[in-house]
Chains A and B, each alone.
Chain A
């Protein structure tokens, strides 16, 4: 087995070692990488990253919350244009809001390094959907790095800035709830001083007109190949030689679950799922009898390998939804016939657990608002935040919740009054602007 990869949980002895949450490690990585501008819109599980960035000296990093994720990315893009390393942070659904900026910026590339940290929420612990950011990375043709523990979160953040500047591209660092909120020992390093680059006087690259964009699209396709080549030889792409009967291709948190349940398998650990190092993957696949891809949520790697006609299996055994765990990965390998079915152990005690739904905090002032609103008997368009809890007992005061800041426009689509409305036919909006989440 390749021993160099055991660094996953074993930081070097010389450096100061501190237990950090994945989110804190990303902040430390950004600071060490010489980032000067860090911008975010908060949202679980990403919120602690900017909070942690804000603890570094102000003269090192300018940190700010923005009014939404698109503005956050715009500010970071401004930093990049000005030649300094810049970081934008958001949760997965935030990238939808920021995508307008991202889809053009990917054509422009970067001046100072530009990294977008996006935290996915497999299992939907605290979100409105379960979308997989890796699909977005492929869509925007932006390289994506997927660390598997806090040490890698720090290291990958630094590498992300190098890739960004070397290949003239924004880079997405994709975390998940589990990585963001798991604390493990991290070896801390020093900050490198990256002097600001002068503004790049190149309108063909900085101004996206049709004539410029056509040229840049071609550059994007070349960039895809160049970054894929980089991953062929990068230290982030790791092959662990083990049992040659089974070869597992994996990345991110899935890697730690695979190590837990199949410690002896041959493993190809990828830096991320876009772009993929085709030659390394082909060589690995040829060196084992059977290749299984283990990835959380969508079959992003698996589908690409199938397009390349590499014989792999994956989502036939592992679910496309929900958060993975060592248990679900074990179950997948049982289904694949790799591990024996040892059955489920019996419960110690058969119990009906007490139902304990989350509620608004004791004394929350929104409670009174909702009670008043309820008395009007209007249809209420709610919005996103802790106050979405008004949808359930005992408040039951909102009727819809779609996405952030959508309540007011939805309300304006007012239907004609019915002859005898059971609730007021003119809907009432609770826009986000008047319902602030107290955690912010």
Chain B
């Protein structure tokens, strides 16, 4: 049993993200590991909206005895965020002075982020950069976990990258983490998940070992830059629409519902982005398309990757 048992106060870990990202899987992995290590655990979540693109959160509390299943504001020892805006929504749940902040800097922009047709209308997405946020936090880590996972071959392993970072904030053995993760992920993805875990863990250890000045720089080393938030901006630098003509059935929904009127049907009646300069990357077309033919990428790297 490790030394955390010496404290009678439970440890509070808050895990947040967007529906479909794997918030519940991450919390199940953590809760199972804690139980294996001999702790009492309560893990609490709210279902129902999870598949609807809404915010999802899960409280994990473990210790010698745990009563309330939820973490009060200002009471979280660790915040693990699978998405940047969700990290900011919950950052004030951290203990003000000694909370650990771990976040993916990928943006999942809500479908209604920009409904205003006015020039220079603001896009409803957090403007704070990782560096600005980390400046307020003693122990913070912001990284493009999704990008790292994508390079490994499966961007769904992003949450395992974050588990690697989390593993350095708790005192369980790395191999115990690896065993529990392997028992939860699909067997075919164990290799990628092990690599993802090690990358997150190694990076966090490197940050911890660095002298203060270097560490400050390293803490957001892999962060995704924040996209300009005034619309319309030079969108083609930041937004790329991937429209699969084979799946488009000319239903016209995206064309009719685009708040910027930047989509059209071409001569073959396939949807195209006819006015890229007006596109704000608001993702309404992606969300509405009944045939999942449209994917919106909203970062320069992602845009370059699929160009």
Contact = CB atoms under 8 A, between A and B. Distances in A.
Contacts of B35: 17, 19, 185
B289 interface: yes
Contacts of A306: none
A359 B286 CA distance: 12
Given A349-B92, A353-B89, A358 B53 contact: yes
Interface in A302-353: 325-327, 330, 344-349, 351, 353
Interface in B1-44: 18-19, 28, 31-32, 35, 40-44
Interface string A25-65: 00000000000000000001101100000000000000000
Contact of A353 (B68, B85, B96, B256): B85
Interface in A354-377: 354-365, 367-368, 371
B110 A356 contact: yes
Given A362-B286, A394-B284, A260 B67 contact: yes
Contacts of B92: 347-349, 351
Contacts of A325: 68, 70, 72
A349 B91 contact: yes
A231 B54 CA distance: 43
A257 interface: yes
Contact of A182 (B42, B51, B73): B42
A361 B289 CA distance: 10
A347 B70 CA distance: 19
B43 A359 contact: no
A9 interface: yes
Interface string B47-87: 11101111100000000011111101110000000000110
A259 interface: yes
A420 interface: no
A353 B69 CA distance: 24
B91 A256 contact: no
A154 B251 CA distance: 51
Chain A contact surface mostly:
loop
A354 B126 contact: yes
A118 B67 CA distance: 23
Interface string B99-143: 100000000001111010000000011101000010011000000
B94 interface: yes
A256 B112 CA distance: 39
Given A182-B42, A183-B31, A394 B115 contact: yes
Given A181-B44, A353-B88, A356-B53, A365 B290 contact: yes
Contacts of A326: 67-68, 70, 72
A125 interface: yes
B287 interface: yes
A72 B259 CA distance: 45
Nearest to A258: B67
A358 B54 contact: yes
Given A349-B136, A354-B124, A357-B110, A185 B41 contact: yes
Contacts of B32: 19
Given A356-B55, A362-B286, A394-B284, A181 B65 contact: no
Interface in A210-244: none
A393 interface: yes
Given A9-B65, A353-B85, A358-B52, A19 B31 contact: yes
B292 interface: yes
A6 interface: yes
A149 B61 CA distance: 14
A256 B89 contact: no
A354 B125 contact: yes
Given A19-B43, A327-B73, A357 B88 contact: no
B237 interface: no
A278 B84 CA distance: 54
Nearest to A326: B68
Contact of B41 (A177, A184, A348): A184
A173 to B, nearest CB: 19
B46 A181 contact: yes
B217 to A, nearest CB: 20
B94 A348 contact: yes
Given A347-B92, A354-B89, A355-B110, A368 B43 contact: no
B288 interface: yes
B290 A260 contact: no
B242 interface: no
Contacts of B74: 344-345
A281 interface: no
Contacts of A181: 44-47
21 contacts: A9-B66, A17-B35, A19-B31, A126-B48, A182-B43, A182-B69, A185-B35, A185-B40, A260-B68, A349-B128, A351-B126, A353-B85, A354-B89, A354-B110, A354-B124, A354-B125, A358-B53, A360-B287, A368-B290, A394-B111, A394-B115
> Which 3 pairs, one residue from A and one from B, show the smallest C-beta to C-beta distance?
A358-B54, A126-B48, A358-B52
Given A349-B128, A439-B51, 9 more contacts: A259-B68, A325-B70, A348-B91, A349-B92, A353-B89, A354-B113, A356-B18, A361-B53, A368-B290
